[in-house]
Each structure stands twice: as structure tokens, then as C-alpha cells.
Structure 1
Amino acid sequence: MKTLREVFNLFVCVILSRFNAVTSIIYVENGKSVTLNPNVQGDPEDILWTFNGNKVAEHDLNEFQEYGQFRGRSEIQITTGQLTVLRMTSQDSGIYWSAIQIDGKLQNSENEVQVIDAVQEPNVTCILNNITESKILFCSVSSQFQTTFEWTGSNSIQHSGQELHISKEEKPDSVFTCTVKNEVSLKSTSFALKDCLTGQLHAHYNNCWLKYSVYDESELRLFVVIFL
């Protein structure tokens, strides 16, 4: 692997100068594996992958070597140059570069990888306004990463956002489902309107039901802040 070792220092300099050139992110669930495709043309002769400027693994079709935190967790497909990293953790988030020699020339690729946790099961809270007889369903989840909220339910309703406002005409046997998504997973929780009683807030939390007397929508938001 003499050829790639000779160009490694120059290659690292190029990497460090182009960190901002990455335009897309590959999201990976914590504990899962990722396979990075360099999309090279031709048959690889030497293959080198780096992570934030440090070697991950290299292969010259005869010898395979792994480095640092990737020892025992990395694989290189010699026919395609693909890198697979097993049991990903947050420490593996960063920029991955490849230098693959084909017909004596180098072909490079870059990938930004972000390792995040799977989303947790969402919590649904409900309040019935005694004055308007309308209901509000509020969906929440604890997450360090960006999530989206989608509601489905009666009459094929579809709504985006954490809150779902329901008119007093809605049937009490109606069921609404909140689905929370992030880049690697989704989880759902369903709520039946019959469980939303007059003057009380009902919260579905870790398979338990909590009750809280409330008579104003502003109190709902205050409760949700404390509840979270």
C-alpha cells in the first residue's frame, strides 16, 4: 500500500480544507451499521478510508488494516470500495473520505454521517374546555434531535404539528394517533376521545394515565412544560 501511504498527508490536508463542501448528511441509528459507497468507476487497486482526517481502514487487495476506534468494526468491499462500519455510536459522527486508486489514478469521495438515537414513544395529553366543549390533544416526546409530529384519525384526518384541535361535534368513540418521526425511526401513540373527561387533563405517559384538573387552555401549556 505504498502508493496511498505516500499521498496520505496530502490527502488529509485536502480533507481538512474541504469539510464545508459536504452537501448531504447520512443519518444512522445508534447501534446500527452504515455502508458508505464511494461510487468509483473501475476496479480498485488500493483503498483508503479516513474519518475526520484519521485513518479508518485500508486495503490493497492483499492486506486489510483497521485503525483507532474502528478496529474490529470496519469492513471494506474490495470490488466496490464500499466501507461498512458496525455498531455505530455518536463518536462515529463526522466526515468520511475515501481515496481509491484505479488504473494508477485516485478517485475521491466524501460522506457526512450523523449518528442519532431512535425516537421514543410519544406522550399524548388531552383537555376538554368546559366553556367551548372543544378538545385539544397535545403530542410530545423527549429528544435531542429534530422530530416531526403527524396526527391521523377520524374521517381520515391528517394534521402536522404537536397540537390537534377537535370540535365538540366529534364523536367520543373517535381515536386519534400521533406519530413522531426523526431521521432514523418513528413511533406512534393512540388516544381515544372518551378518555378525555370534563375539566380534567389526561396524560398517557409510559403506559400510565395521569389526571390534572384544568379549566383553561393556558393551564394546559403550563402543565405540559412541567410534565416534560
Structure 2
Amino acid sequence: MLKLSGESMAGERDYGIDPESLRAIVNQVQEAVRAGAELAIVIGGGNIFRGSQVAEELGIESATADYMSMLGTVINALALQAALEEQGVPTRVQSAMEIQEVAEPYIRRRAMRHLEKGRVVIFAAGTGNPFFTTDTGSALRALEIGADALLMAKNRVDGVYDRDPRRHPDAKIVPRLNYMDLLSDDISVMDDTAATLCSGQNLPIIVFDILREGNVRRILAGEKIGSLVWRSASSDEA
């Protein structure tokens, strides 16, 4: 399971979809499919609409703002699908919100069948419920389809740091963590609900830079890329 943030689609832009970043993501996904991986993707929408920010600024109730954010993820999913299929990668979009004109409804068994047939499945609209992030959606979908790992793709951030590297130049990368580390105030990887879901089922999480060429292929080949979150920070099992 590959979790893409909306920011990874925007690249260096403050808003929207950056063509160069989109091409870089497509190349990584294409390499993974060629290597024989069954790949599902959950995509965020922060580059289109950030519900929590708009709810505060405009006084929109939180539930409505979250639904608006879900529509942003659908926009990103359709853009990614179009770019992948242009490169010959068969792709299906499944939405947790019913939008039959542009996407299939989310059906777990159908999604797994698509993956078995070599199609990339993009899950849009998070969980379909307000108050849950797309991080939680990615953890949930990963567990539902029996994914081997959750790949948390970041925009120009190559792993987990002990402090925010953008504010602290002396921040150091942490190559191995356990699930409890994710609950630290100093480490921002995913929300607590997503971390708890992964912890409960011992789902490995790999945090890496999606815009560094070849990273997904290297992870699939077993190379130690980025930061690994698993049941023991010192484990050599993975």
C-alpha cells in the first residue's frame, strides 16, 4: 500500500498539481508494477483543499469541511489515474464516497481482484467519513486488502527525523522506530488512529521520499530506504 500526500502531487507549488512531480510519481509506480508488485494507493487532498484550515478560517463546520477535502482526493486520484494509463498502466479508482460517473464504489473483494489482475487501485475519499484522515484511510485499506507494508510517501523528506528538519538544521534521521515512537509529539508521520491500527496488526510502515528516483523499486528489492516503523526499533527481522 502506497500512501501519497496531496503535497507530493504539488511538488514545490503551494496549490494544485505539479506536472513534474506527477510524472515522477507515475515513473515510480510504473517501475513497481513492472517489478511484479500488486500496488494499491491512497491519496490525500491537501494540495486541493485542507478541511481543518478552511473550517477555521471560514467558519465551516468540521464535518462539511472534511467532506469537501474528500472531493479533493478524488480530483488527485483521477489525475493520477489518467497519467498512469497514459503510460500503459491499467488503473482503477475506487471512492469511499459514491461518485459512479467517475469512480467505482469501494468494494474490498473487487479491489483485491483488480490487484490480482495487475491493475493499480487508487482509493479516494479516505474512509468516506468525516473526522478521519487519509492516513487512517491508508492504514485501514492496507489491512483490509492484506498488504505486506504501508509505504508512507513524503515530499522531499527522506525519512523520520527526531525533530522537524525544516525548523532544526541539526535534526537527525531515525532509521528504525517502533509504533509507540509515532505517538511522540516530536515525530509527525501519521495520526494516532492510523498508528494504532498498524500497531494492532504489526503492519510495517516505511517512510521515504517519493520524489527521489527509484525509491519505490529499491524498497521492493529489499533495500533499506528511509525509516522503518515496526514492532521493535532494534529488530533485524525486516
Same fold (TM over 0.5): no
Higher relative contact order, chain-length normalized (CA < 8 Å, sep 6+): 2
TM-score of Structure 1 vs Structure 2, range by shorter chain: under 0.3
Which structure has the larger Rg over C-alpha atoms?
1
Which structure shows the higher helix fraction? 2
Larger strand fraction of residues: 1
The TM-score, its normalising length taken from structure 2, stands at 0.19
